[in-house]
Amino acid sequence: MPVALHNEPDGDHSRSGSSSDHNFPTLEHFRVKHLPPAAYYIPDFITQDEEEFLLRKIADSPQPKWKSVASGRSRLQYWGGTMSKNSVLLPEPFPDFLTTYPDIIERIQRFLDRTDERSEATNESSTSVLAVNQVLVNEYQPGQGISPHEDGPAFQPLVATLSLGSHTVLDLHHYLSASSPSPPMTASEAQADQVERLSGRPIAAIPLAHLLVMPRSLLILSSTLYTSHLHGISERFEDIVSAAPGHEGVVAANADLLGDAGIADSLRNNKVWRQARGTRTSLTFRHANRTLKGGLLSMTATGALRRH
Ligand SMILES: O=C(O)CCC(=O)C(=O)O
Ligand SMILES: [Fe+2]
């Protein structure tokens, strides 16, 4: 089911800010089933116009804003501030294109807040509020990816990633306990090996699950899926998604949430969906747990980093 959380393009603002509309599906509707808690996939979180606008603003950022990355992703940007060596956010104001038009940060917060109200009322375990204070922008060319990794304890275990420009497949990996047998090795063996060498903890060679992430969608990872699993993107030029195990390609754990008739038809009729990757830009909205109070000035005034 395609879902629009944005204002209607025809100017009908009766659904304006529809994530606070009580007829609108709550977060639970978008939960990816059969995964450790918890991942949520929300298709069409923004419009095509908003996607184009964001891509233009990101591309037009001053050159020094871009940081190049040695391997994997081609380059990245931080908005809201960068992290100090001891994992404290050195805050900076967000640009208008994240707060005003489009009001993405607020839209994400509103969507999660409403879920909170409901889960409190029904005594369900509540999703924490995401007080976004940093946005990480990653740009990937076809053939690029990111090795399996954890984002780490400097951030709240609730992150939301908006995809722009192209689809990708995000792989979720789990650590092997010392006693569990290693599954058969696959093409990702070399990658898992490399991470193991860095982390010193054995990682299952076969990903736990794959998520097909389409342009304009929002993916939310939280709780133990964030704290005790890894995520990564294989370096591929083309993705092949299959309708069921045993066919070429990978099964997408979020296949029932994609809201895309073309993909559904292809999976039904051809048993696979394949697509070349284009340039993908992802925006990860997150909350750094420690922020430098009063900005950089307070560091020079006190000579020390203060927590709050
Ligand atoms: O591009 C993505 O969707 C994931 C990026 C990521 O995991 C990271 O930068 O830590
Ligand atoms: Fe990450």
Q: What is the 3-state secondary structure (H, E, C) of 59-77?
A: HCCCHHHCEECCCCCCEEE
CB 251 within 8 A of CB 245: yes
Closest atom of ligand 1 to 219 CA is 3
Assigned token pair, 297: 């000035």
The token pair that represents 109 in the structure block: 């917060």
Domain 18-238+278-300 belongs to what architecture?
Sandwich (2.60)
The reply to whether ligand 1 has any atom less than 6 angstroms from the CB of 136 is yes
How much distance in Å is there from the Cα of 137 to the middle of ligand 2? 11
Give the pLDDT score at 186.
Answer: 37
Average pLDDT per block of 10 residues along the chain, 308 residues long: 44 40 78 94 97 97 88 86 95 96 95 66 58 96 93 94 98 74 42 56 87 98 92 96 92 97 96 97 97 64 41
Residue 168, number of CB atoms within 10 A of its CB: 25
Q: Provide the 8-state DSSP code for 194.
A: H
Decide whether any atom of ligand 1 lies within 6 Å of the 231 Cβ. Answer: yes
Per-residue confidence (pLDDT) for residue 69, from 0 to 100: 84
Q: 111-130 in b/e burial notation, b at 16+ Cβ within 10 A?
A: bbbbbbeebeeeeeeebeeb
Which ligand neighbours the alpha carbon of 76 most closely? 1
Listed residues: CB within 5 A of ion ligand 2: 151
**Is 282 touching ligand 1 by the criterion CB < 6 Å?**
yes
DSSP 92: -
> Residue 183: its pLDDT value, please?
43
Give the number of C-alpha atoms closer than 13 A to the C-alpha of residue 299, restricted to the C-beta side: 11
Question: Cis peptide before 62, with omega less than 30 degrees from 0?
Answer: no
Q: What beta strand segments (E) does 234-299 contain?
A: 238-242, 250-251, 272-276, 280-286
Residue 136: beta bridge partners? Answer: 78, 284
Task: Assess whether the C-beta atom of 284 lies below 6 angstroms from ligand 1.
Answer: yes
Ligand 2 centre to CA of 230 (Å) is 8
Indicate whether this complex's ipTM tops 0.95. Answer: yes
Q: How far is CA 49 from the centre of its chain?
A: 20
Ligand 1 touching residue 167 (CB < 6 A): no
SS3 call for 138: strand
Q: Is the CB of 134 within 6 Å of ligand 1?
A: no
